[in-house]
């Protein structure tokens, strides 16, 4: 496809007008100010449009789409114990498949090209991702209750098998990872064994860290004063690439460890606000050199995958929290939502509009009233735009969403199956 005479956010997230961008197979093959001589197939007229990198959602639990709106206005532990855990107990592979498909539809509609997705029934999740053409890093989240050897736990064997069977599926679109759910949901022996296995297998790790104050403080009481980051570091869990979701309550020593070990923080502003968990210290993380990405968390605690809304919330909550409107620039928010997310997914050639990189691209309609006037287009993208302004989503050079239509997902069937699966579970509760 050739995007013709279009405004772009280039690899430095600078605005450039009247550009030509050609994609060939799964890559960006041409970026220039002139109409290329080479034929790139369909010509997409760029008038009133902005072309930029798609979004990389660095923390999600897609199958929880079935629980959107199901448990509201509850504290985290109440929410988990009275609503989420009983519902999850009745989930099936088929329900997970349809929940994931619904989230993929919503993701593509809002410009998310790839998600770091932690849950279970991972094969069913991966099947939905492969079929619809999106990308995802998927991990089987491990919870352990006693000192059973992990090699005797079906949950761990599922994770191992998923890594073996699905890593690289869909032409590399699926990356299988390892995951410990969190410090408070695991025993030391299991965490140590999982750290060992993760190192040996060379896998990436996805984990929840210091989401709530009580989680952080109870860990210190339980683990000789060590925080979740310090506890995991002592087990060698941070020796592989790690995506650490939330990190609301991390201290200075934690931040130094994360910077040294190259841990990526996935901040989830909407979920942290909704569950009243607190505010991740983004300016300090950035100043310390920590890679900072953005996640939606599940739609049970968000309640949407409107990623441009997430970027705006990310910027605004930092400003009010620090009582400083200068913190978090539009460029920092955009980088966190694109390149930083791609990097923590191990997708080195993704997340930037650069020649030779994967063509994971989105187009925004910037001709609408709320996008004018244009004093600074970046400001408009972060503070004025909305996820519904996305009019095209392309993954690996294939258009998956365009002008209201999801081209690889049967929405009518997906919605009907999601309703059916949800009602099936509710009848059993």
Residues that bind Zn ion (CB under 5 A): 297
Q: Which residue's Cβ lies closest to Zn ion?
A: 297
Q: How far is CA 158 from CA 11, 202, 215, 384, in A?
A: 39, 17, 27, 44
297 or 396: CB nearest Zn ion = 297
Least distance CB 72 / Zn ion (angstroms): 17
CA–CA distance, 341 with 291 (Å, rounded to integer): 9
Closest to 340 in 3D by CA, of 317, 314, 319: 314
Least distance CB 240 / Zn ion (angstroms): 19
Least distance CB 61 / Zn ion (angstroms): 6
| DSSP class per residue in 28-48 | EEEEESS--SS--SSEEE-TT
Check: CB of residue 82 under 8 Å from CB of residue 67: no
Q: How far is CA 380 from CA 57, 81, 150, 168, 331, in A?
A: 21, 41, 50, 37, 12
116 or 193: CB nearest Zn ion = 116
Least distance CB 59 / Zn ion (angstroms): 6
Least distance CB 122 / Zn ion (angstroms): 15
67 or 352: CB nearest Zn ion = 67
117 or 297: CB nearest Zn ion = 297
Least distance CB 60 / Zn ion (angstroms): 8
Residue ranges in 262-354 assigned as alpha helix (H): 269-274, 282-287, 307-322, 330-337, 339-344
According to DSSP, the β-strands at 112-119 and 398-402 are unpaired
268 or 409: CB nearest Zn ion = 268
54 or 295: CB nearest Zn ion = 295
């Amino acid at each position: 496809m050739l995007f013709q005479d279009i405004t772009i956010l280039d690899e430095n997230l600078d605005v450039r007008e009247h550009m030509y961008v050609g994609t060939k197979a799964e890559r960006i093959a041409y970026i220039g100010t002139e109409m290329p001589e080479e034929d790139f197939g369909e010509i997409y007229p760029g008038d009133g449009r902005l072309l930029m990198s798609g979004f990389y959602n660095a923390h999600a639990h897609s199958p929880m789409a079935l629980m959107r709106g199901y448990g509201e206005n509850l504290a985290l532990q109440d929410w988990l114990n009275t609503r989420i855990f009983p519902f999850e107990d009745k989930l099936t592979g088929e329900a997970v498949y349809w929940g994931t498909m619904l989230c993929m539809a919503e993701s593509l509609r809002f410009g998310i090209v790839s998600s770091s997705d932690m849950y279970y029934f991972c094969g069913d999740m991966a099947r939905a991702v492969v079929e619809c053409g999106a990308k995802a890093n998927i991990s089987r989240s491990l919870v352990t209750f006693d000192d059973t050897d992990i090699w005797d736990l079906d949950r761990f064997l599922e994770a191992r098998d998923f890594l073996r069977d699905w890593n690289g599926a869909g032409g590399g679109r699926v990356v299988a990872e390892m995951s410990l759910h969190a410090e408070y949901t695991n025993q030391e022996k299991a965490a140590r064994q999982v750290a060992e296995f993760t190192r040996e297998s060379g896998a990436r790790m996805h984990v929840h860290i210091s989401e709530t104050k009580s989680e952080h403080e109870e860990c210190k009481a339980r683990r000789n004063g060590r925080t979740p980051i310090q506890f995991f570091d002592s087990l060698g869990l941070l020796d592989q690439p790690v995506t650490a979701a939330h990190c609301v309550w991390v201290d200075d020593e934690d931040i130094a460890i994360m910077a040294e070990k190259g841990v990526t923080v996935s901040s989830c502003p909407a979920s942290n606000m909704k569950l009243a968990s607190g505010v991740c210290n983004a300016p300090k993380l950035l100043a310390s050199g920590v890679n900072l990405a953005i996640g939606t968390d599940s739609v049970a605690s968000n309640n949407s995958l409107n990623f441009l809304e997430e970027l705006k919330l990310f910027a605004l909550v930092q400003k009010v929290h620090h009582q400083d409107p200068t913190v978090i620039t539009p460029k920092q928010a955009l980088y966190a939502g694109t390149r930083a997310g791609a990097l923590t997914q191990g997708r080195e050639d993704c997340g930037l509009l650069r020649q030779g990189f994967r063509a994971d691209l989105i187009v925004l309609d910037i001709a609408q009233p709320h996008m004018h006037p244009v004093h600074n287009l970046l400001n408009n993208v972060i503070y004025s735009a909305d996820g519904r302004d996305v009019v095209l989503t392309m993954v690996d050079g294939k258009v998956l969403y365009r002008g209201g239509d999801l081209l690889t997902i049967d929405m009518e069937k997906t919605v009907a199956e999601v309703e059916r699966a949800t009602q099936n579970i509710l009848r059993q509760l």
